[in-house]
Amino acid sequence: MSKVTCHMSMSVDGFVAGPHQSLENPLGIGGPLLHEWHFDPMHEDDLAWRDSLLAPKGAYIMGRNMFGPIRGEWDDDWRGWWGDEPPYHAPVFVLTHHAREPIEMQGGTTFYFVDGFEAAFEQARAIAGDKEIDIAGGASTVRQALNAGVINELVVDVAPVVLGSGESIFAGITDVKLEQIEVAHSPFATHIRYRVG
Amino acid sequence: MSKVTCHMSMSVDGFVAGPHQSLENPLGIGGPLLHEWHFDPMHEDDLAWRDSLLAPKGAYIMGRNMFGPIRGEWDDDWRGWWGDEPPYHAPVFVLTHHAREPIEMQGGTTFYFVDGFEAAFEQARAIAGDKEIDIAGGASTVRQALNAGVINELVVDVAPVVLGSGESIFAGITDVKLEQIEVAHSPFATHIRYRVG
């Protein structure tokens, strides 16, 4: 069976997005600071972790808030934040209660719209073969995956940033066991890989 | 002037104590798991960080909740959690609105009871000379020190533990700048030292 991974940039205080997420601030106030470690100019010690983030996967699962700011019925003009060629290059299962036809993008990304984490995960399993399934985010989708007990490996990139409040992938999670299996760092982030039990 | 430090064991989700702190669970549910890295048997890669935690300081500042579970007027029988010889070996300024005479313990620790962070910090400055002042905790006292802008260096020992909720030293803090200056790890913790700006 394919490995299920999750790789999140996080503040020192445990948030993957800042407060007050909006169309203007999709990552919340201060949220973009979490991602500076994988922007240019990049430190050589961060390269392997950026590459792991962008490595080919068999499928992704993503929350609707991560796909776009639209609530309720779909606006068919919205095709994600990433332009014509999103960086996924694989099937992406977007969690939503509102049905929508799949959207085939350039570069191998196809967005499928599925009602419920369990259904999305079954479809991702079926299509991923022996390749990784990645839980792309946001926080609520990662929490669903942790509660479902399906994540095998979690990487957090701890940025030297304090947000004070925001979205946590662990809020209310009490029964997840972590085993720390790898640590590396540049001046811009501390990367920690955990096996999830 | 003396350097002001703070050194806290923390969960991956940013908590220094678990929820539901009480006399039976002074560190909250799951809180003791954060401290396993500096218990016996200790991994050799953790030793230097345990030593830094226990190194001689000029003075400590501590919240009343960290000193004991008593609320309101003092019960003079309570002399802290640590027995006759606490591990501080220096003056410890305990924040409280309730006056109490100093308590001289064995091994050089004296507990002084002071009303307000600012007053405690002034007294610690006066007594510490050129030795470090350490903000010992708990979360609320660290937040007061961060808001006062007095902490120069912060060490977090990130344990491979998820608490789901609890006490954060950063809750509501939005204007603290961190510079990551050192990282080390054993299988039981990732230690990160930050300069605080």
B123-154 pLDDT, tens per residue?
A: 999 999 999 999 999 999 999 999 999 999 99
CB contact under 8 A, B13 and A168: yes
- CB atoms inside a 10 Å sphere around CB A149: 12
- CB atoms inside a 10 Å sphere around CB A168: 24
For an interface test with B, the pick among A6, A12, A15 (most B C-beta atoms closer than 10 Å) comes out as A12
Tell me what ipTM this predicted complex has.
0.93
Give percent above pLDDT 70 in chain B.
Answer: 100
Using pLDDT thresholds of 50, 70 and 90, give the confidence band for residue B40: confident
Q: Which of A12, A15, A176 sits opposite B156 (nearest CB)?
A: A12
Q: Given CB atoms, is B127 within the 8 Å cutoff of chain A?
A: no
Is the pLDDT assigned to residue B63 strictly greater than 90? yes
Provide, as residue numbers in chain A, all residues whose Cβ is less than 8 Å from the Cβ of B165.
171-172
CB contact under 8 A, B190 and A192: yes
Residue B22: per-residue pLDDT = 87
Residue B116: per-residue pLDDT = 97
Taken in order of first residue, the domains within chain B and their CATH numbers are 4-17+27-68+86-168+179-190 (3.40.430.10)
Q: Which of A11, A160, A178 sits opposite B180 (nearest CB)?
A: A160
For an interface test with B, the pick among A177, A182, A183 (most B C-beta atoms closer than 10 Å) comes out as A183
Q: Which of B12, B187, B192 sits opposite A14 (nearest CB)?
A: B12
Eight-class DSSP state of A94 = E
What kind and span of H or E run contains A49?
Answer: helix A44-54
Helix, strand, coil % over all residues of chain A, rounded to 5: 25, 30, 45
Residue B147: per-residue pLDDT = 97
Q: Which of A169, A171, A180 sits opposite B190 (nearest CB)?
A: A180
Nearest chain A alpha carbon to B177: A161
* Nearest alpha carbon to residue B183 among B56, B49, B52: B49
- CB atoms inside a 10 Å sphere around CB B7: 20
Using pLDDT thresholds of 50, 70 and 90, give the confidence band for residue B42: confident
Q: Given CB atoms, is A160 within the 8 Å cutoff of chain B?
A: yes
Q: Which of B163, B169, B172 sits opposite A165 (nearest CB)?
A: B172
Residue A114: per-residue pLDDT = 98
pTM higher than the cut 0.90: yes
Residue B150: per-residue pLDDT = 98
Token code pair at residue B70: 């008593």
Residue A2: per-residue pLDDT = 86
Residue A1: per-residue pLDDT = 75
CB contact under 8 A, A190 and B188: no
**Nearest-CA distance B48 → chain A (Å):** 17
Residue B164: per-residue pLDDT = 97
Residue that the structure tokens 């803090």 belong to: B173
> pLDDT tens, position by position, for chain A (197 residues)?
789 999 999 999 999 999 999 888 999 999 999 999 998 778 999 999 999 988 999 999 999 999 998 889 999 999 999 999 999 999 999 999 999 999 999 999 999 999 999 999 999 999 999 999 999 999 999 999 999 999 999 999 999 999 999 999 999 999 999 999 999 999 999 999 999 98
User: Chain-wide mean pLDDT for chain B?
Assistant: 95
Residue A42: per-residue pLDDT = 83
Nearest chain B alpha carbon to A168: B13
Q: What is the dihedral of CA A95, A26, A91, A149, to 10 degrees?
A: -50
Residue that the structure tokens 């930050």 belong to: B194
CB contact under 8 A, A165 and B171: yes
Provide, as residue numbers in chain B, all residues whose Cβ is less than 8 Å from the Cβ of A188.
180
Q: Span B102-118, mean pLDDT?
A: 98
Residue B2: per-residue pLDDT = 86
Q: Which residues touch B119 (CB under 8 Å, ≥6 apart)?
A: none
For residue A34, CA distances in Å to A5, B113, B119 come to: 19, 40, 36
Residue B121: per-residue pLDDT = 98
Is the pLDDT assigned to residue B1 strictly greater than 80? no
Segment among A28-32, A37-41, B43-47, B171-175 with least mean pLDDT: A37-41
Q: Given CB atoms, is A164 within the 8 Å cutoff of chain B?
A: yes
CB contact under 8 A, A187 and B178: no
Residue B39: per-residue pLDDT = 87
CB contact under 8 A, B178 and A13: no
